[in-house]
Amino acid sequence: MERSTLNLWVGIFVLLGFFAFLVLAFKVGNLSAGGSGQTYTLVANFDNIGQLKERAPVRSAGVLVGRVKSVRFDPIHYTAEVRMAIDTQFKFPKDTSASVLTSGILGEQYIGLEAGGDDQMLKDGDQIKLVQGAVVLERLIGQFLFNKAQDSSTAKGAQK
Amino acid sequence: MVLESTLRNIRLVGDGTLKIVERIGATVVFLGLTLTQSATSFRRFDLVIREIFYAGVQSLIIILVSGLFVGMVLGLQGHETLQNYGSEQSVGVLVALSLVRELGPVVAALLFASRAGSAITAEIGLMKATEQLSAMEMMAINPMARVVAPRFWGGVISMPLLAMLFSAMGIIGGFLVAVVLIGVDDGAFWSQMQAAVDFRHDIANGIIKSLVFGIAVSAIATFEGYEASPTAEGVSGATTRTVVSSSLAILALDLVLTAFMLKGWS
């Protein structure tokens, strides 16, 4: 085969491959919506994190602002220490509250941040004080049944 | 009697195992030898370009068409199951993640091994059978540098490109079936996909996989060709061995790589 045709075909092939890479990176992946890529760390201690995993989303008002960096058991306070990597373009006030929420009924768990009204902003490595752990379904049902039982017993007591 | 035949069978198992280990070791040594002889390939890059044409460009049709079909089937099957849970929009996530993480690199590498790897083995094996390699040595040309290394690098460069084309084509196929044919919402299809597919963890890892598969397939193909017995049966046997051992190597390496990528390298 002639040299120039060979080069042409290989050139087309390489360009096609590069184009496929761009499609994958920007159309399929999240490289375009990745934000600045720079993050700072916030720490929160929850009494229960449910099924929260590393790289779970951190959302504020439903919008993705960061991801969970690590989950660790804190042996001193007996809580789950969650470190979050938050995009540097989003700053949160000192009295921001964090809670473990679930998207949908069976969906993945994520951390919801609700901004407070403080003038001072959280800095890298700061601790979020106001936290709310995951709702455990078994405990919820147990509490519901317990309340029901109590209600019916008091109702019976009233009838007597 | 019984003891003797049992011993013989155990010996056969041992012999087979040793032969397999020997062959893996020889392939790795050959890969190292190829790498040390690669300088010529980069000084005369037109040699590699020629091999990219034969390994990469000529595999384009089979890769693109298979990618499209695999993506379409994923779209159909995914939609069929996901609609039971009322989440048929997630079919984009399913198609994209399975292609980018697994099917793209693995199926493209399997196709590449049977399309290009076997051709490389047959070519080098036939060169050996017709004593072209010995003729080169007579002219003080190192066949490792002139014949083996360019084919190796051609394969290594082609493989990631082919895998990415396979994935991209598959996602287009999934899009065609799910959105155009079945009528899943267009915006939800892409936005859920983009929310779920991470560049570093999914796309970059897929490319690393395909690069490793490219190295494995090219090394096995060139090794089998170079070590083929110089007869018609020898070349045909070597071609078969290339396809079988590269397919096994791809699947085994995929398991190891996936385990490390999901659980971290530590």
> Could you state, in order of their start, the residue ranges of all structural domains in chain B?
2-263
Give the C-alpha separation, B159 to B210, whole Å. Answer: 6
Q: Do both A5 and A47 map to the same domain? A: no
A79 within domain boundaries: yes
Q: Do both A122 and A43 map to the same domain? A: yes
What's the pLDDT at B78? 92
Task: Kindly list the residues from chain B whose CB atom is less than 8 angstroms away from the CB atom of residue A13.
Answer: 52-53, 56-57, 60, 158, 161
Where helices occur in chain A by DSSP H, the ranges are 3-22, 137-159
Give, as one character, the DSSP assignment of residue A51: T
Q: Do both A114 and A98 map to the same domain? A: yes
Whether A10 sits inside 8 A of B193 (CB atoms) is no
pLDDT at residue B266 tops 80: no
Q: Do both A43 and A94 map to the same domain? A: yes
Check: pTM over 0.90? Answer yes or no. no
What band does B135 get if pLDDT is binned at 50, 70 and 90? very high
Give the residue numbers spanning the domain of A8.
Answer: 1-33
What band does B241 get if pLDDT is binned at 50, 70 and 90? very high
pLDDT, one tens digit per residue, over A62-113 is 888 888 888 889 899 899 999 998 988 888 998 899 998 887 766 778 899 9
What's the pLDDT at A36? 56
Alpha-carbon distances, residue B174 vs B102, B179, B198 (angstroms) = 15, 8, 19
- Shortest CA gap A61–chain B (Å): 17
Task: Kindly list the residues from chain A whose CB atom is less than 8 angstroms away from the CB atom of residue B100.
Answer: 24, 28-29
- Residue A125 Ramachandran class (φ > 0 left, ψ -120 to 50 alpha, else beta): left
Whether ipTM exceeds 0.90: no
Q: Do both A44 and A108 map to the same domain? A: yes
- Residue B29 Ramachandran class (φ > 0 left, ψ -120 to 50 alpha, else beta): alpha
Whether A9 sits inside 8 A of B53 (CB atoms) is yes
Within 48-77 of A, beta carbons closer than 8 Å to B belong to 55, 64
Residue A43: beta bridge partners?
A83, A127
Give, as one character, the DSSP assignment of residue B57: G
pLDDT at residue A35 tops 80: no
Q: Do both A70 and A134 map to the same domain? A: yes
Give the C-alpha separation, A133 to A45, whole Å. Answer: 9
Domain count of the fold of chain A: 2
Among A138-152, B50-64, B218-232, name the one with the lowest average pLDDT.
A138-152
A57 within domain boundaries: yes
What's the pLDDT at A160? 57
What's the pLDDT at B61? 93
A150 within domain boundaries: no
A59 within domain boundaries: yes
Q: Do both A52 and A105 map to the same domain? A: yes
